[in-house]
Structure 1
Amino acid sequence: MQNGKTFSAATAFCYSLNKAMDPEYFKSYEMCWGTLGTVRPFSNFHPDRDAMEIQAALEKKDAVTLVRILTNRNNAQRQVIAQTFKEITQKDLATALKKALSGELEVLLLELLMPPLQYEAYRLQQAMAGLGTDEETLMEILSTRSGKQLQEVSAVYQDLYKKDLEKELKGETSGDFTKLLLALLKKENVVGVAQRDIKSLSASLNGKKADAGPWIDILTSRDSDHLNKVLMGLELETGQMVDQIVEKRFTGDFRLGLNVLVQCIQNPDVYLAKRLTSTKTPIVQGIMVSHCEEDLLCIRAAYHKLTGTSLYTALQKQFKGDHLQALLAICRSED
């Protein structure tokens, strides 16, 4: 989070893009100077009052009030509300929500109650649960989180599910795709020489079968600025766009994984905006909840540029009822 009276070009861009559309929203000092998220700390926060209102709403099954409160507090405030609710009622808020609600709204509000690291661990677990594996969601999370964040998520995963995340990934995937996932899970920035990295990637394409090794090693261990130079250099050297190279020279889950990683290196906001065009509720909800306090303003801007429609409008065509109102509250406004 940034402090002081300066902010990045990205912040300025998103600020100017949204200011005219939602002036009330930008009265918050924290919002203007601190985040690219759509959910910010509620300025007039009284956890006791919120907890009592929630208790009354649960008794009446008043979804409107539950949505109003839980989508207009940031995650840290929701944790305080949950603790206060327990002290007042001697009941667990998540358990109470399960009893009062059902369906997609229940799932969304329970997800909003999870601390951020727990939520990322939950999303990873859900991507591997059941018969199939959601390879793209695994890649999305691992490609858009820092090495430090992923270390913390791994620890929370172990605590929550009593399983080792690395072993789980190995058990659910195979081959070069597994190697890519594990390299991302343990990612750390290593200083590289751009020209040397370009040569390594180019040389990996010379054989009849492309060598995945350099792609895994380089693309999971350099910062994004360096990697963007490397990818642009590779395009100049080969005369092909990187996505064309990946499509032609690799196959299966590894091709999917490399495709996601390249997009996240080049512009994670655009990649996540593309993901939001999905009609699958877990994908849309997962990204919105995961990014609403970080960079959803920029993902919204990328979505509008990509589709010609605001995310706020698109949600209204796909969802309905109280679940829609909760998603719109997280999205915050039109673009």
Structure 2
Amino acid sequence: MDTEYFKSYDMWWGTLGTVRPFPNFHPDRDVVEIQTALEKKDAGILVRILTNRSNAQRQVIAKTFDDTTHKDLAIAVRKVVSGDVGTLLLELLMPPLVYEAYRLQHAMVGLGTDEETLMEILSTRSGKQLKEISALYKQLYKKELEKELKGETSGDFAKLVVALLHKENVAGVVQRDIESLSASINGKKGDAAPWIEILTSRDLDHLNKVLMGLELQSGQTVDQAVEKRFTGDFRLGLKILVQCIQSPDVYLAKRITAMKMPIVQRILVSHSEEDLLCIRVAYLKLTGTSLYTALQKQFKGHHLQALLGICRSED
């Protein structure tokens, strides 16, 4: 781990992210270096700078680059760096909630819908964040996010994703919610409505008490109950939501274990300044291998260096 990171760690010890504000930050110097890197088509320099600056600092760099050169930094990077590392650098330049809107759009564009990514984002973002993401989505893509979600999903799963998009904390009684969920899985057919209503409208502390109570009452895990009583996309969505309520770090670590490039890259970028340290710990517990080591076995070149720069260190 580099010395500058230790200085940054001392300054930002409270965060659970791996990427922290770079101390002694001089955007003018960074822009000069970036201009040289673009001229020489040196992806290594771009990787070193952009993975060692916080997102807020990257926005300052982009603004300074624009003011200095009258060019858009993202466009300049796209012209010079291609492939996976080019995509990663462009994603690092997006403001956080713009990036989440981009991920949602990417999950719905083209043939087939990436239901798991939709659920990952909707389950791990707060109601306030999702309102901002919806507004940014409309601004960027000239479409209503809710309408797009409805068009890409159906049935109870569509109801679930829309309810998550508009999630809010409504007061509830733990025992009453336990009884409602229990009744919904004890009939001839599982009733989706109580699950959608309760799991998208209570705070996390309340929901964890409800899910623990349901497990004690039913004698099985919630995951087992959902697996038995529901089917299709709704079952998948509900299982993801439950996992994200119980332990989002473990769920995200599980997603990464498949080592599929887009999933690994987007989770690392999305969570780099929030809780990637927790995801690293969960990954180590799940696999017995540190995420830093696992990345080195799967990726290579400048793309690997960028991912390692975000991951930051061994565990």
**TM-score normalised by the shorter chain: which range applies?**
over 0.9
Counterpart amino acid of 1:266? Q
| One of 267, 270, 273 as aligned partner of 1:290 | 270
Partner amino acid, structure 2, of 1:162:
K
TM, length-normalised to structure 2? 0.98
Q: Render the CA deviation track for 1:30-85: whole Å, top value 9, x for unaligned.
A: 3213x110000000111111011101100100111100101000001101101111
Amino acid at match of 2:192: A
SS in 2 for 1:276: helix
| Mapping 1:105-254, distance limit 5 Å | 105-254=85-234
Aligned equivalents of 2:222, 2:185: Cα separation in 1: 12
* 1:302 equivalenced with 2:286 (yes/no): no
Q: How does 1:15-26 map to 2 (within 5 A)?
A: 25-26=5-6
Deviation at 1:278, TM superposition (A): 2.1
1:39, 1:293 within 8 Å by CA — same for their partners in 2?
A: yes
Question: Is the 8 Å Cα contact of residues 77 and 90 (structure 2) preserved in structure 1?
Answer: yes
Aligned to 1:46: 26
**Structure 1 residue 237: Cα displacement:** 1.2
Q: Secondary structure at the match of 1:157?
A: helix
Q: Is the 8 A contact 2:189 2:229 kept in 1?
A: yes
Which runs of 4 or more aligned residues in structure 1 lie more than 4 Å from their structure 2 counterparts after TM superposition?
21-24
What is residue 30 of structure 1 aligned with on the other side?
Answer: 11
Match of 1:10 in 2: none
Could you state the TM-score of these two structures normalised by the residue count of structure 1? 0.92
Within 1, Cα distance between the matches of 2:4 and 2:210? 43
> CA 1:23–1:219 in structure 2 vs 1: closer, same or farther (change >3 Å)?
farther
The C-alpha deviation readout for 1:161-201, integer Å capped at 9, x for no partner, is 00000000000000000000011000001111000000000
Question: Match for 1:277: what amino acid?
Answer: T
Match of 1:62 in 2: 42
Matching residue's letter, 1:254: F
Counterpart AA for 1:52: V
CA distance in 1, matches of 2:29, 2:41: 18
CA distance in 1, matches of 2:12, 2:2: 12
Equivalent position of 1:14 in the other structure: none
Distance in 1, Cα, partners of 2:11 & 2:249: 22
Name the residue aligned to 1:280.
260
SS in 2 for 1:32: coil
TM-fit CA distance, 1:22: 7.4
